[in-house]
Chain A
Amino acid sequence: MSTDLASPIPLEGFLTVAAMLFCVGVWGLINSRNAVRVLMSIELMLNAVNINLMAFSNYLDGQLIRGQVFAIFVITVAAAEAAVGLAILLSLYRNRETVDMERFNLLRW
């Protein structure tokens, strides 16, 4: 598959790392009790997606690096999401005096 011209690292290596990062993020998203840790898990998942985008951009789309532009937009949206999410978290903590995810069931059916 890889010749001397290609990168010494196979594309599948990056995809594997991204898959592991994404799965760890999903597990943390499901199992975290602390709301801040849930936000951290979301950041992990976004980073995994970004690694995928950058790997495809470098290996399959080397001239028009559209994956890098997508990654920049993902970083922008992630920054906005973190700001709004932490503001919601502060407001919630002020009202409920806890960060336990199990007690945030106000919108549950």
Chain B
Amino acid sequence: MSIASTTQQICFAVLSATTVVGSIGVVLLPNIVYSAFLLGGVFLSVAGLYLLLNASFVAAAQILVYVGAVNVLILFAIMLVNKQETLAAIPGLLVRRLLSGAVCAGLFALLLRVAFTTAWALPGPPPVGEEATIRIGEHLFTDYLLPFELASVLLLMAMIGAIVLARRDVFTTDVITGEPADQGLIEKERTPLLIETTTPEPTLLSKP
């Protein structure tokens, strides 16, 4: 037991604890903004676990894509839809939570049993360590070339789809017939949804 292995074990304990506690917080916290920031913490901890697994490139990709893009996107979505609404009570909510909790606990027990009773072929071949990035590049341009190109097509499709789904229609004339569009259908002409129309103080609302 050298110092390096003890350090690795301490790092693993801290990272796994932050991952699990953070994920429970993501699911349970009532304020969703806190959940989103905790989600960023969970992603960072997972990136640390990847570093423990000799995968520096995937750790960097995790931080770039998840923390830098997905988490920021989720925060943007929260800011856009963050209307404080009182959710209507539904009957049997507690029963549903307990039942799904029991199902998840059963799934967890099953996964643990599989993980601890399977005879893994350990120790496997020695890990490549620092050469992992080179190996990934070789894989991506030889035997995984088709999925790599398909992933680029998928990203393009997702980008176009997201733009089409999330844009607002602000045409003043119908594109096909050239007639003036029904302005009532255009969201720009409606009352903005985020402003409380029942607020008795209109001076606050008229502030640009």
The closest CB in chain A to the CB of B120 belongs to A11
Q: How far is the CA of A54 from the CA of B47 in the complex (A)?
A: 11
A24 touches B100 (CB 8 A): no
The size class of the interface chain B forms with chain A is 35 or more
Which residues of the partner chain B approach A68 to less than 8 Å between Cβ atoms? 55, 57-58, 132, 135-136
Contact bitstring A1-24, B, C-beta under 8 A = 1, else 0: 111011111011111110111111
Q: Is the interface of A mostly helix, strand, loop or mixed?
A: helix
Which residues of chain A are near B43, meaning CB under 8 Å? 43, 47
Q: With A26-B107, A102-B88 in contact, is A77–B23 under 8 Å at CB?
A: no
Asked if B205 lies at the interface with its beta carbon under 8 angstroms from chain A, I say no
Contact across chains for A73 and B151 when beta carbons are under 8 A apart: yes
Quick one: given A57-B55, A58-B53, are A9 and B8 in contact (CB under 8 Å)? yes
Contact yes or no, A75 B61, CB < 8 A: yes
Cross-chain contact A90 with B80 (CB below 8 angstroms): yes
A-B contact pairs, 28 of them (CB 8 A): A2-B122, A5-B126, A14-B49, A14-B53, A17-B20, A24-B24, A24-B26, A24-B104, A26-B103, A27-B104, A30-B96, A31-B97, A36-B32, A36-B36, A36-B77, A43-B66, A43-B74, A44-B26, A47-B43, A54-B53, A60-B122, A64-B139, A68-B135, A71-B58, A73-B147, A78-B70, A79-B69, A94-B187
